Amino acid sequence: MASCPKCGSQVVNGANFCPACGSPIGAAPSPAAIPLSQPSVQEQVSTAAPGGITSNVAAMLTYLPVCFIGLVCAILFAFILEPYKKDRFIRFHAWQSLALHVAYIVFWIGWMIFSAVLTAITPKLAFITVPVSMLVGLGTLVLVVILMLKAYGNELYKLPVLGDWAEKRADR
């Protein structure tokens, strides 16, 4: 007599179901039907960068727009943190993020001076400069989210002028 693989009770030979628990009784799976084992946690971790963060996540972090955290991450990944500053993919995105942050800060300072002068000349122009400021901020946020998604997808997406500059710096 055979036994049920689920509950262990005795089953009559040739029965399709266990009389005690009702689970199906079948032939043992062939070796070809047994799936290959998944990689262990240790094997999965070894595919990450030596510091523990994969290169696509580190590249994505360089673009974080929250209170210049991306600027700090870009500086850390491009110049300071040892396992990451050797990865060309991370360096490219760090340099492009640095260039984008600097360009945005310079543009924003210039825009604030320009809008302050226009508002001082005619206060009615504040109704134009405020919506334009909001659109510029929203457009920058959309651009940064797109760059984050491209970096996370392991894509080397270059901005028109800043990307070429960043690529030269990353190759050094």
d(CA 144, CA 116): 27
Which candidate, 12, 93, 100, 105, places its Cα nearest to that of 56?
93
- What tokens appear for 103 in the block? 């360009």
Q: What is the DSSP letter of 79?
A: I
What's the predicted TM-score (pTM) here? 0.63
| pLDDT over 60 at 35, yes or no | no
Which candidate, 47, 45, 5, places its Cα nearest to that of 27?
5
Chain centroid to CA 160: 22
What's the whole-number average pLDDT of the chain? 79
| pLDDT over 80 at 150, yes or no | yes
Helix (H, G, I), strand (E, B) or coil at 154: coil
- What tokens appear for 35 in the block? 């799936």
Percent of the chain at pLDDT > 90 equals: 12
Indicate the domain borders of the chain: 1-29, 51-170
What integer is the mean pLDDT of 96-101?
Answer: 88
Output b/e per residue, 116-128; b: 16+ Cβ within 10 A. eeebeeeeeeeee
Q: Please report the pLDDT score of residue 64 as a whole number.
A: 82
Task: Select the more confidently predicted residue: 79 or 106.
Answer: 106
What are 39-51's pLDDT values in tens digits?
A: 443 343 334 555 5
d(CA 119, CA 92): 40
| pLDDT over 60 at 34, yes or no | no
Instruction: Determine contact, residues 59/93, Cβ cutoff 8 Å.
Output: yes
Band (27; pLDDT cuts 50, 70, 90): low
Give the residue carrying structure tokens 């040739």.
14
Instruction: Determine contact, residues 150/88, Cβ cutoff 8 Å.
Output: no
